[in-house]
Amino acid sequence: MENENFEQRTDLSKLNTAVEQIKASLGKIIVGQHQVIELVIAGILADGHILIEGVPGVAKTLTAKLVAKSIDAQYSRIQFTPDLMPSDVLGTSVFNTKTGEFEYKKGPVFGNIILIDEINRAPAKTQAALFEVMEERQITMDGEAYKMQEPFIVLATQNPVEQEGTYRLPEAQLDRFLFKIEIAYPSLEEEITIITQQHQQKTADQLAEINAVLQAADIVSLRQTVRGLHVEEKILAFVARIIHETRNNKSLYLGGSPRASLAVVNAAKAIAAIAGRDFVTPDDIVKVAAPVLRHRIMLTPDKEMEGVSPDDVIAQIIQKIEIPR
């Protein structure tokens, strides 16, 4: 966003070009879902992990695969199943008969972009294996720490917990996801476009149309830029008030953690950068509040039974707080 009265302090041209390319690339296949795509890009720029939730058939996995394809980095996919073991994710020590020693065989979690499909189909034991790697970006195995390569992004998809054969993810793990993005059903016009596109498509492989527009090193550099954006103190106080309010709200059993406060600020920085600004506005905070907080807060049982959603409560909380102006 240009302003003739002020000179740009930060060069965001590379970032904005890359974002536009990714959007254009994904827009070829994904119909609509502009907000979902923007949030996924923001999540990647904010150095966060992303959880995509939606009922079967709304292109959760396809979105994640397309994002992964548009970045030239080591991609790995893990299909979570009820019988998956932690060692199937992290890797395991195998005895080498030639050397007579145990050797660590790395699991599929070693990579830059990890697509965990149907994450909530594996039980808590396997979920717990992801705690360390998602937060600390390392794995400790047999007393030795193995660092993940930068960038390390977990893109996970899940069905809503009400669906058959799913488990509720542990709170500690949910807190490690920067965003929980909910994919809704497309509108009627969008649905018609989807059917028409599929009908006219000559090849079955949709992914073949997507080319990588960013290198892994570019992501690291863009993240550095996003991290350096300006955030006024009054905006930080605004974030703190929102999170504080979640802890005192009578509709909530569990409020946001300090990690949630940091996540809101980091995500808002990425949204500001995508908008072409090198500073954060209250609008950026409001925009990211629901995707950052909806999986971190817990409704009281009575509110859950009343059918109130976390997004409703977040909106109510924000409405109660004065915008710093």
Partner 1 sequence: MAALSCFAKTDTVAKKKPAVVRYDTASVAIRHFDATAINEFKKQPEFNYNDNYSGPSLWTRFWKWFWSLFDFGKTTTGYSRFWVWVGRILKYLVIVGGVGALVLLILKSAGIDLGLFRKRSRSAGIPYGEFDENIHEIDFAKDIEQAASAGNYKLAVRLLYLRTLKQLNDNGLIEWQPNKTNQAYVMELSNSPNQDIFKQLTNQFEYVWYGDFAVTGDSYKNISQMFGSFKEGRS
Contact stretch for partner 1 (CB under 8 A) within 56-64, 68-76, 220-228, 278-286: 278-286
Per CB under 8 A, which of residues 285..304 are in contact with partner 1? 286, 300
Q: Pick from 120, 249, 261, 266: which binds partner 1 (CB under 8 A)?
A: 249
CB of 63 to partner 1, least distance (A): 26
The reply on whether position 310 binds partner 1 by CB under 8 A is no
The reply on whether position 305 binds partner 1 by CB under 8 A is no
Q: The tokens of 64 are what?
A: 């994640």
Q: Walk across the sheet containing 177-182 and list its strands.
A: 75-79, 113-117, 153-158, 49-53, 177-182
Measured from the Cβ of residue 6, the count of other Cβ atoms closer than 10 Å reads 7
User: How far is residue 266 from each of residues 45, 67, 93, 110, 297, measured CA to CA in Å?
Assistant: 9, 20, 37, 25, 18
Measured from the Cβ of residue 7, the count of other Cβ atoms closer than 10 Å reads 6
Answer yes or no: are the C-beta atoms of 307 and 291 closer than 8 Å.
Answer: no
Contact stretch for partner 1 (CB under 8 A) within 81-89, 125-133, 167-175, 240-248: 240-248
For partner 1, give the closer residue by CB, 45 or 242: 242
Number of residues engaging partner 1 in binding (CB under 8 A): 35
According to DSSP, the β-strands at 101-106 and 91-96 are: antiparallel
Q: Residue 21 is which amino acid?
A: Q
Contact stretch for partner 1 (CB under 8 A) within 34-42, 126-134, 200-208, 235-243: 235-243
CB of 4 to partner 1, least distance (A): 8
Q: Pick from 30, 107, 281, 294: which binds partner 1 (CB under 8 A)?
A: 281
d(C-alpha 88, C-alpha 80), whole Å: 10
Per CB under 8 A, which of residues 170..189 are in contact with partner 1? none
d(C-alpha 29, C-alpha 198), whole Å: 9
d(C-alpha 245, C-alpha 96), whole Å: 56
Place of tokens 């059918």: 307
CB of 228 to partner 1, least distance (A): 14
Per CB under 8 A, which of residues 204..233 are in contact with partner 1? 230, 232
Q: Pick from 191, 209, 283, 306: which binds partner 1 (CB under 8 A)?
A: 283
Answer yes or no: are the C-beta atoms of 75 and 109 closer than 8 Å.
Answer: no
Per CB under 8 A, which of residues 7..66 are in contact with partner 1? 9
172-188 CB burial, b ≥16 within 10 A, e <16: ebbbbbbbbbbbeebee
For partner 1, give the closer residue by CB, 209 or 283: 283
Measured in degrees and rounded to the nearest 5, phi and psi for residue 85 equal -105, 155
d(C-alpha 104, C-alpha 101), whole Å: 10
The reply on whether position 266 binds partner 1 by CB under 8 A is no
Q: The tokens of 184 are what?
A: 């809704």
Q: Pick from 58, 235, 264, 290: which binds partner 1 (CB under 8 A)?
A: 235
Contact stretch for partner 1 (CB under 8 A) within 57-65, 97-105, 112-120, 317-325: 317-325
d(C-alpha 182, C-alpha 170), whole Å: 18
What is the pattern of x (binds partner 1, CB under 8 A) and - over residues 85-124? ----------------------------------------
Residue numbers at the binding site for partner 1 (CB under 8 A): 1, 3-6, 9, 230, 232, 234-235, 237, 240-241, 244-245, 248-250, 277-283, 286, 300, 318-325
